[in-house]
Structure 1
Amino acid sequence: MAAQATLHCLTGCAIGEIAGMAIGTALAWHNVPTMILAIALAFVFGYSLTMRGVLRAGLDVHSALRVALAADTVSITIMELADNGTIALFPGAMDATLSDALFWLSLALSFVVAFLLTTPVNKWMIARGKGHAVVHQYH
């Protein structure tokens, strides 16, 4: 269950991260604004994927947002710290462009690291009825 929750979270984060990095890189932004955009979009897409499911279950928008915040905030935060930390530490990754294999390789590696570090946290939270456990009652 924790791996599935982490993959769900990683999907939203990856969409936001890739979009933010691609936009910032394509616009030749410096690293900090690109990373800020990527992180912001990771949260937006991560929360949006959770909200989509609970809205389909019949919750109103305000309640769905509360569920998404409770379910995903810790997971996305850890994922973003791991993801962006990996990219920041990967030699040359911060200066790679969209056409560089290094850009995509470092991004893929950062997602693997984020998954590996976030899964045990999600497992711990689910076992205590927190995190993604609050979403399961709506599925």
Structure 2
Amino acid sequence: MPCTRTTLTLSDAKRMLEAGEARAASFGVSYNIAVVDYGGALVAFARQDGALIGSIDLAIGKAVTARLFDKTTAYLSELAQPGAPLFGIEHSNGGRVIIFGGGIPVRMDGEIVGAVGASAGTIEQDISVAEAAIAALDSSNA
């Protein structure tokens, strides 16, 4: 019998991107925002006009990392400091793990269904953009 899981849909991802873009606009920063599904595969991506090219891979990597480890990338960053229990984790998974804040797992009814990653501003702004994306999903399910 196949295993079934709830996952983010393209419709969910579009709402999330729109909300993330609005938050980014409030900072006056052009953003890269990525949404991945339950399996960590890219569902949708937005690169606002003028967003940093180098942040494209960071946004996608943050989303994938948040899903791979089911933790925020900000929290993984804390755990990856010298002397901390996950020191060096960023070298795992072929070096594709991104531990800058801005990657957040997405939950529905307590179950992880995907993740979002945002990159271009400060770490605090990246986290805020990702949180805004998730809040849009939460409000649509209310």
- Do they fold alike, i.e. is TM over 0.5? no
User: When you count helix as a share of all residues, which structure comes out higher?
Assistant: 1
User: When you count strand as a share of all residues, which structure comes out higher?
Assistant: 2
If the length of structure 2 is used for normalisation, what is the TM-score? 0.27
If the length of structure 1 is used for normalisation, what is the TM-score? 0.28
| Larger radius of gyration between Structure 1 and Structure 2 | 1
